[in-house]
A and B are shown apart, each in its own frame.
Chain A
């Protein structure tokens, strides 16, 4: 028993570089800034929806009625400002938990108008976790101001990443159990999935949107829905197995990512955070990608400065303009 606990503890508290958790903070923070930023007007309009449609969930359940739309807008602005502080890693001990808490509240409120969007759960949970943990010990203003040497690999940077991966697999497992609970193993025969695709397409067409691009083409191919049904159940119920090894986790991530793209092509449903791969970043040594890109850029910049300084300036300007536009 003690041996198992030790093995579990070694696994859960394995070391990771500070830069990995920091890279997750920066990349996920940038996605959230984009995601909330482009939805700013929509969120504000939602806050002005008819009060009778208010069905509070999560933290918003503490409210007996909607808050003033202007107060919501102020909180949304505060969330975006804290989002920038989160990306930069500025006073993270204060701004990190504040950002996580506010983002959770904003999304609970956004989901309190008769529809829960299940694609946002993972994103919000990951931000809360990154906000509460030491994700700004590297690649941050805090780290620069401290002037301390680079942080070594430590279990304190490893366990939040382990937890992020476990939470992701747990949500897919819960989704798989819902399918089993409603239909039993028969869900895998594809008929339930086919019916869902049909109902979704029908709703869209009757409410003025086009059905998913492939829904009509594939509707009569029952065998394909059977294949997808089996695949979905195996991937969702087997999700916790992805925690057992690096290669297994990568295999699972690639397949679940393909599942989201299939949903997009067949039903036209965009799970943006999942399809863009951000939900699954915790499974990869993301800091290496950033370091690689950084070293390539600096090499290119050095080379250009030597051979063509004017071109180097133009490239720097283009990169800056591109980053600003993004």
Chain B
């Protein structure tokens, strides 16, 4: 569809287009306007569905509207060194596309029973990374930790519950 509607140049000695044609063009513009506005507004219905579905480019913009409890679960990557010291592993070791995309992909892989494969893939990337503190990490875990939101922000980073989905060693060629 092309709704390019040409206009007459300034000073051009031309008549206005016939009224019917002129009207048709405005109807086309009206139809396009209405169609796009309805398409943007229609996802509002998702708010009242049992299983709302988000879309692109027409979304119901749920990002700041979700109910949050006192605790929250995050699935993430943890590394351990030779002394069993815990280090958080950056999401970029698990995938690409930005923080939120990788976060969701980690969760989805765990839900799909692919935590072991993800763990091995992260371990391979960690093995190739010379940067501290990653260079000292010799074991990776994929975990889901449940944290108390208020306590976390008060400085207590210990999870109230933690489930380990996968555990794998980091194999370096030059130990």
Contacts and interface: CB of A to CB of B under 8 A. Distances in A.
Contacts, number: 231
B74 A203 contact: yes
Contacts of A92: 4
B55 A207 contact: no
Interface stretch (A171-179, A247-255, A272-280): A171-179
Contacts of B2: 93, 96-97, 132
B57 A182 contact: no
Contacts of A13: 26, 29
B90 A209 contact: yes
Contacts of A167: 36-37, 40
Interface in B5-45: 5-12, 25-26, 29-30, 32-33, 36-37, 40-41, 43-44
Given A132-B2, A171-B61, A178-B65, A206 B74 contact: yes
Most chain-A CB neighbours within 10 Å: which of B48, B57, B77?
B57
Contact of A121 (B6, B41, B56, B76): B56
A30 interface: no
A12 B61 contact: no
Interface residues on B, range: 35 or more
Contacts of A12: 30, 33
B30 to A, nearest CB: 7
Interface in B43-77: 43-44, 47-48, 54-68, 72, 74, 76-77
B101 interface: yes
B105 to A, nearest CB: 5
Contacts of A173: 41
B4 A125 contact: no
B103 interface: yes
B9 A152 contact: yes
Interface size grouping (class) on chain A: 35 or more
Interface string A192-234: 1101101101111111110000011001000000000000100
Contact of A149 (B9, B54, B64): B9
A178 B59 CA distance: 10
Interface in B119-173: 145, 147, 149-150, 152-153, 157
A82 interface: no
Given A113-B105, A166-B33, A170-B37, A96 B114 contact: no
A7 to B, nearest CB: 14
A9 B11 CA distance: 26
Contacts of B104: 114-115
7 nearest A-B pairs in the assembled complex, by CB-CB distance = A208-B90, A181-B47, A175-B61, A195-B68, A115-B101, A154-B7, A182-B65
9 contacts: A45-B96, A50-B109, A113-B105, A152-B7, A157-B7, A166-B37, A177-B60, A178-B47, A178-B60
Interface of B: 1-12, 25-26, 29-30, 32-33, 36-37, 40-41, 43-44, 47-48, 54-68, 72, 74, 76-77, 88-92, 95-105, 108-109, 112, 114, 145, 147, 149-150, 152-153, 157
Interface of A: 9, 12-13, 18, 42, 45-46, 49-50, 52-53, 57-58, 92-93, 96-97, 104, 107-108, 111, 113-118, 120-121, 124-125, 129, 132-134, 137, 148-152, 154-157, 159, 162-163, 166-167, 170-171, 173-175, 177-179, 181-183, 187, 192-193, 195-196, 198-199, 201-209, 215-216, 219, 232
Given A115-B97, A152-B8, A157-B7, 8 more contacts: A57-B56, A115-B98, A163-B32, A170-B37, A171-B59, A171-B61, A178-B60, A209-B90
